[in-house]
C-alpha cells in the first residue's frame, strides 16, 4: 500500500520510493528511504497535504507525493 | 564538553562505519597561514539552528549584502577566534538539505561551499551545523561535505534539547566515525563557542584532511544518485546507532501535541485568521502613532528650515525635495518593523511552516505552492521583501507566478492613498449605522486585490506558466520559543535593507520630482535664478508649465475617461516611481506645501474644493474610488520593478508585469468610473 492510504498513527516501514520526478530524490534525501520508519500524523484541514513523522522529525507532503511511497505495516 | 582532536582518516575505526576517503595528491596545498583573516562558512539544514549560532558567534558585527548577480542575501560577520588573530570572516549560507540542489538558495550555498562561486573565495573551514535532535537527516549533508575533503568542524546544536529528550550522544565516538571534530553548542547560552573556535583553528592548522573522496553524487544519473543515497543513509544509520543511545518514552512530542490544536481541522484555520488579524491590527493601527510622530517631526523640521534659510531654489530643494523625501522614507519604518517583528517571530517559532501546511490546499487551487503564502502575506507590507521571500519556492514557474501576483497585495504604500481618499470623500460615513465606510472600503480594496491575484495566478498557471502541480515537501520544524536575539537581528537587518534599497530610491525620486515640478521656471524655458520662490500662492502657472504639468496634460485625454484631470495625471506619473509620492505631488500641485501628510486637512480641503473649468468639482467620491482601484492594480513602484528584474534575471518579467497590471488598472478604473456614472453615482 502507499503512504497516502494508511491510517493515522500506525508505524509503517518504507518499502520503495518512486523517484521519477525531482521531488522523489528530495524525499529520499530527507530520509524517506527504503527501510525507514514512517507514521502518518494527520492531514491538513482540507484533507491535503498530510503530515508524517520520519526519522524523528515532521514532514508535510501532498497526497500525490505520498502515493509515490510504498509502505508495509505490521512486521515489527 | 568534548572537543575532539580529529584523528587521521580511518586509523581508528572499521571501514564499515566510517566515511571512506581516498588520498589526494597534494595535501600541503591547503596548509594555511593564520596571518590573514580566515573565511569560514556556516552550512547546515534549514531549521538546524544555523542563524542562532551565527548571531551568537558574530554578535552585531555582521552585514547583509547580495551575492553578485543574484538577490540571495549573503550574511557575513566577524568572529574573533582568538585574541592573537585577526577576526575571521564568517559567512552564513542559506540552509540546504543536500549538495544536490533543488532551489536557487541551495545552489548558491553549494557553489560557495565547493569553491565554485565566481566572486567568493572558497572557505578555509566549513562549520557544519547539525541538529542533535535530528541527527540522521542532518548528517546526510554533513557527510557529503566531509567527502569534499575540505576542513570541516561539526557544530552539534540543540544539544540541551537532545539531552532532555533522552538522547545520549557519544560525541567522541561520533567524531571518530566521521573523521572530524564534533563540538556540542548551545548558541543561546554561548555554550561551546570557545571550544568551537579551538576546533576551527585546529582544523585550519591541520589543513585539509589528508584525503578526499571523489564527490560521488553530483552530475550522476538518477539511478546512481539513488543507489548512493541509500548507501549513504545506511552508513549514517550505522554511525548513529554506534554513538547514540535513544530511550523513547513512547509519548508524542510537545510539538505534536501543540499541533493537535494549531493545525486542528477547525481550530487551525481560526487560529491562522486570528494571527493574521493581529498582524494587520499592528501594521495598520499600532504603527500609526510612530508614523504620525515621524510625519510631524519632519514637517516641523521643514518649516524650521524654511523659516531660517533665505528663500530660493536651494531652500526649496532642501525642504520639498530632501527633507520631505527622507521623512517619506522613514514614515514607512514603523510598519515594516512591526511586520518583520511578526514574521520573524512566526518563522522562529515554527508557525510559518504550519501556515503553509494549512494553506497549501487553497493555494494549490490557483496553482500555487503553500510556501507562496508567506511571501504573499509579506507583500501586504511591501512587495519588495515579499518578492525576495519567494526564493524558498523551488519550482521556477511557481516562483515567477507568485512574483507576478505579489504586487496585488495591498502594500503599505497604498494606505496613504486610501486614507487620503477616504478622509476626503468618505469620512464620517457609516454603514448600518456603526460600520465605518472607510474601513469597509479599505477591506474591499484588500479583498479585491486578493481576488484579482487569484484570477491572474489561475490564468498564468494555465497559459504562459503552465506546469504540472509542483511538489510540496516541507519540513515542519519543532515549535520553539522564538530567540530574542534572532528576532532583533532580523529587524535590524530588514530595516537597514529597507532604508538602503527602498530609501535611496524614494529619496532620489523625491528630488527628481521636485525638479520636474520646479523646472522649467514659469515664463521661461530655463531655470530661474536663485531667489525665486517656486511653490507660492501664484504657482499654479509654474506647475502648468513645469515638465510634470506638461506631461500631465499630454496624458489628460487618456485618463479623462477614468475621471482624472491633468493634475491627477501629474500625480499618476510621479507615483510610477512609488505610490505614496502622489500625496506629496498633489500637495505641490494644489499648493498646500509638500509636507502635507495624508491626513493633512489642507490637502483634503484642496481636493474637495478643486473645480474644473466648467465649475464642476474635479473630485467626487467616484473619482476617489476610481483612483483607489487604479492604485490597487497598477504596478506603480520602481523598487518592485527593480527587484523583479534582479530576481528573474531578465527585463522580460518586470516589463510584462508593469504592462499587464497597467492595462488591468486602466480597465478596472474605467469600468468603475463609467459604470458608476451609468448607475447614477457621482
Q: Is the dihedral of CA B525, B531, B535, B536 positive or negative?
A: negative
Give the Cα separation of B92 and B327 in Å (integer).
Answer: 33
Identity of the residue in B225, B268, B476 whose CB atom sits nearest the CB atom of A60:
B476
Of B518, B538, B539, B535, residue with least CA distance to B527: B518
What percentage of chain A exceeds 90 in pLDDT? 62
Tell me whether residues B100 and A29 touch, CB distance under 8 A.
yes
Q: Which residues of B touch A (CB under 8 A)?
A: 97-98, 100, 102, 133-134, 136-137, 140, 222, 225-226, 229-230, 233, 255-256, 259, 263-266, 268-269, 353, 356-358, 360-362, 364, 370, 469, 471-478
Of B22, B53, B27, residue with least CA distance to B40: B53
- Mean pLDDT across B5-34: 43
- Mean pLDDT across B423-447: 82
Give the pairing of strands B181-184 and B152-157.
parallel
- Mean pLDDT across B311-316: 83
Between B461 and B128, where is the model more confident? B128
Maximum mean pLDDT: which of B86-90, B577-581, B662-666: B662-666
Between A65 and B246, where is the model more confident? A65
Give the Cα separation of B3 and B199 in Å (integer).
Answer: 7
If you write DSSP's letter for every residue of B603-648 in order, what string do you get? HHHHHHH-B-TTSSBS--HHHHHHHHHHHHHS--BHHHHHHHHHHH
Of A68, A72, A11, residue with least CA distance to A39: A11
Identity of the residue in A29, A56, A64 whose CB atom sits nearest the CB atom of B140:
A29
Give the pairing of strands B152-157 and B125-131.
parallel
pLDDT of the residue at B26:
43
pLDDT tens across B553-588, in order?
899 999 999 999 888 898 888 787 778 778 877 877
Tell me whether residues A51 and B476 touch, CB distance under 8 A.
yes
Q: Is A35 left (phi over 0), alpha (psi -120 to 50) or beta?
A: left
Give the Cα separation of B463 and B660 in Å (integer).
Answer: 14
Of B186, B183, B188, B189, residue with least CA distance to B201: B183
Counted across chains A and B, CB pairs separated by less than 8 A come out at 122
ipTM above 0.85, yes or no: yes
pLDDT tens across B257-275, in order?
999 999 999 999 999 888 8
pLDDT of the residue at B352:
86
Report yes or no: B4 and B169 within 8 Å, Cβ to Cβ.
no
From A18's Cα to the closest Cα of chain B, the distance in A is 10
Tell me whether residues A62 and B472 touch, CB distance under 8 A.
yes
Q: Counting runs of H as helices and runs of E as strands, what totals does chain B give? A: 29, 14
Burial of B171 (0-12, 13-18, 19+ CB in 10 A): buried
Give the Cα separation of B510 and B516 in Å (integer).
Answer: 10
Tell me whether residues A51 and B357 touch, CB distance under 8 A.
yes
From A43's Cα to the closest Cα of chain B, the distance in A is 9
Please give the mean pLDDT across all residues of chain B.
80
Tell me whether residues B357 and A60 touch, CB distance under 8 A.
yes
Give the pairing of strands B88-92 and B39-44.
parallel
Q: Measure Cα distances from B110 to B105, B120, B133, B405 in Å.
A: 9, 12, 24, 30
Q: What residues of chain B lie within 8 A of the CB of A59, using their CB?
A: 473-476
- Mean pLDDT across B72-78: 80
From A50's Cα to the closest Cα of chain B, the distance in A is 8
Report yes or no: B452 and B408 within 8 Å, Cβ to Cβ.
yes
Residue of A nearest to B48 (CA): A57
pLDDT of the residue at B218:
53
Best of B265, B472, B478 to substitute, by most chain A Cβ atoms within 10 angstroms, is: B472
Global confidence as pTM? 0.78
Best of B144, B233, B252 to substitute, by most chain A Cβ atoms within 10 angstroms, is: B233
**Confidence bin at B531 (pLDDT 50/70/90):** very low
Measure the CA angle with vertex B443, ends B440 and B444; round to 5°. Answer: 85
Amino acid at each position: 500500500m502507499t503512504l497516502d492510504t494508511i491510517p493515522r498513527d500506525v508505524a509503517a516501514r518504507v518499502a520503495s520510493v518512486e523517484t521519477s520526478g525531482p521531488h522523489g530524490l528530495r524525499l529520499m534525501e530527507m530520509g524517506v528511504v527504503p527501510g525507514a520508519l514512517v507514521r502518518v500524523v494527520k492531514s491538513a484541514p482540507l484533507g491535503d497535504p498530510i503530515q508524517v513523522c520520519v526519522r524523528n522529525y515532521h514532514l508535510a507532503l501532498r497526497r500525490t507525493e505520498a502515493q509515490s511511497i510504498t509502505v508495509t505495516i505490521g512486521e515489527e | 564538553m568534548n572537543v575532539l582532536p580529529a584523528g587521521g582518516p580511518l586509523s581508528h575505526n572499521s571501514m564499515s562505519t566510517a566515511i571512506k576517503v581516498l588520498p589526494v595528491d597534494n595535501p600541503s596545498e591547503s596548509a594555511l597561514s593564520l596571518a590573514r583573516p580566515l573565511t569560514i562558512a556556516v552550512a547546515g539544514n534549514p531549521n538546524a539552528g544555523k542563524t542562532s549560532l551565527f548571531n551568537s558567534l558574530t554578535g552585531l558585527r555582521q552585514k547583509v549584502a547580495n551575492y553578485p548577480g543574484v538577490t540571495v542575501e549573503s550574511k557575513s560577520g566577524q568572529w574573533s577566534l582568538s585574541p592573537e588573530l585577526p577576526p575571521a570572516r564568517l559567512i552564513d549560507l542559506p540552509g540546504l538539505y543536500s549538495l544536490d540542489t533543488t532551489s536557487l538558495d541551495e545552489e548558491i550555498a553549494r557553489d560557495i561551499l565547493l569553491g565554485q562561486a565566481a566572486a567568493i573565495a572558497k572557505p578555509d573551514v566549513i562549520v557544519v551545523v547539525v541538529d542533535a535532535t535530528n541527527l540522521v537527516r542532518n548528517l546526510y549533508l554533513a557527510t557529503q561535505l566531509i567527502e569534499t575533503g575540505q576542513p570541516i568542524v561539526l557544530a552539534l546544536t540543540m544539544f540541551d534539547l537532545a539531552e532532555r529528550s533522552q538522547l545520549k550522544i557519544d560525541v567522541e565516538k561520533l567524531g571518530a566515525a566521521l573523521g572530524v571534530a564534533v563540538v556540542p553548542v548551545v548558541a543561546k547560552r554561548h555554550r561551546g563557542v570557545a571550544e568551537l573556535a579551538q576546533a576551527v583553528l585546529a582544523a585550519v592548522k591541520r589543513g585539509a584532511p589528508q584525503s578526499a573522496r571523489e564527490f560521488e553524487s553530483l552530475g550522476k544519473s538518477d539511478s546512481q544518485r539513488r543507489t548512493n543515497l541509500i548507501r549513504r543513509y545506511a552508513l549514517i544509520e550505522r554511525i548513529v546507532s554506534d554513538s547514540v543511545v535513544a530511550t523513547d518514552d513512547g509519548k508524542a512530542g510537545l510539538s505534536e501535541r501543540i499541533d493537535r490544536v494549531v493545525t486542528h481541522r477547525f481550530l487551525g484555520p481560526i487560529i491562522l485568521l486570528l494571527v493574521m488579524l493581529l498582524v494587520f491590527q499592528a501594521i495598520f493601527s499600532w504603527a500609526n502613532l510612530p508614523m504620525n510622530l515621524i510625519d510631524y517631526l519632519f514637517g516641523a523640521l521643514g518649516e524650521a528650515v524654511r523659516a531660517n534659510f533665505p528663500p530660493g531654489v536651494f531652500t526649496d530643494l532642501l525642504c520639498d525635495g530632501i527633507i520631505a523625501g527622507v521623512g517619506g522614507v522613514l514614515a514607512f519604518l514603523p510598519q515594516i518593523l512591526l511586520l518583520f517583528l511578526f514574521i520573524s517571530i512566526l518563522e522562529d517559532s515554527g508557525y510559518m511552516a504550519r501556515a503553509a501546511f494549512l494553506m497549501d490546499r487553497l493555494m494549490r487551487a490557483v496553482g500555487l505552492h503553500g510556501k507562496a503564502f508567506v511571501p504573499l502575506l509579506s507583500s501586504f507590507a511591501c512587495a519588495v521583501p515579499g518578492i525576495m521571500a519567494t526564493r524558498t519556492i523551488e519550482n521556477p514557474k511557481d516562483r515567477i507566478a507568485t512574483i507576478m501576483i505579489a504586487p496585488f497585495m495591498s502594500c503599505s504604500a497604498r494606505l496613504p492613498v486610501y486614507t487620503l481618499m477616504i478622509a476626503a470623500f468618505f469620512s464620517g460615513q457609516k454603514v448600518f449605522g456603526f460600520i465605518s465606510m472607510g474601513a469597509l472600503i479599505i477591506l474591499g480594496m484588500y479583498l479585491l486585490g486578493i481576488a484579482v491575484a487569484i484570477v491572474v495566478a489561475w490564468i498564468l498557471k494555465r497559459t504562459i506558466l503552465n506546469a504540472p502541480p509542483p511538489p510540496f515537501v516541507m519540513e515542519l520544524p519543532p515549535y520553539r520559543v522564538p530567540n530574542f536575539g534572532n528576532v532583533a537581528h532580523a529587524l535590524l537587518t530588514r530595516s537597514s535593507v529597507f532604508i538602503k534599497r527602498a530609501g535611496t530610491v524614494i529619496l532620489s525620486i523625491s528630488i527628481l520630482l521636485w525638479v520636474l515640478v520646479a523646472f522649467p521656471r514659469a515664463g521661461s524655458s530655463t531655470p530661474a535664478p536663485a531667489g525665486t520662490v517656486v511653490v507660492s500662492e501664484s504657482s499654479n502657472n509654474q506647475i502648468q508649465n513645469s515638465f510634470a504639468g506638461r506631461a500631465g496634460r499630454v496624458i489628460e485625454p487618456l485618463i479623462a475617461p477614468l475621471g482624472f484631470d491633468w493634475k491627477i495625471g501629474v500625480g499618476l506619473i510621479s507615483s510610477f516611481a512609488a505610490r505614496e509620492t502622489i500625496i506629496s505631488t498633489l500637495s505641490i500641485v494644489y499648493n498646500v506645501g509638500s509636507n502635507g501628510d495624508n491626513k493633512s486637512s489642507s490637502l483634503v480641503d484642496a481636493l474637495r474644493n478643486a473645480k474644473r473649468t466648467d465649475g464642476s468639482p474635479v473630485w467626487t467620491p467616484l473619482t476617489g474610488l476610481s483612483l483607489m482601484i487604479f492604485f490597487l492594480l497598477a504596478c506603480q513602484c520602481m523598487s518592485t520593478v527593480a527587484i523583479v528584474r534582479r530576481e528573474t534575471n531578465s527585463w522580460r518579467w518586470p516589463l510584462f508585469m508593469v504592462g499587464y497590471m497597467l492595462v488591468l488598472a486602466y480597465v478596472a478604473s474605467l469600468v468603475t468610473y463609467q459604470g458608476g456614472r451609468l448607475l447614477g453615482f457621482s
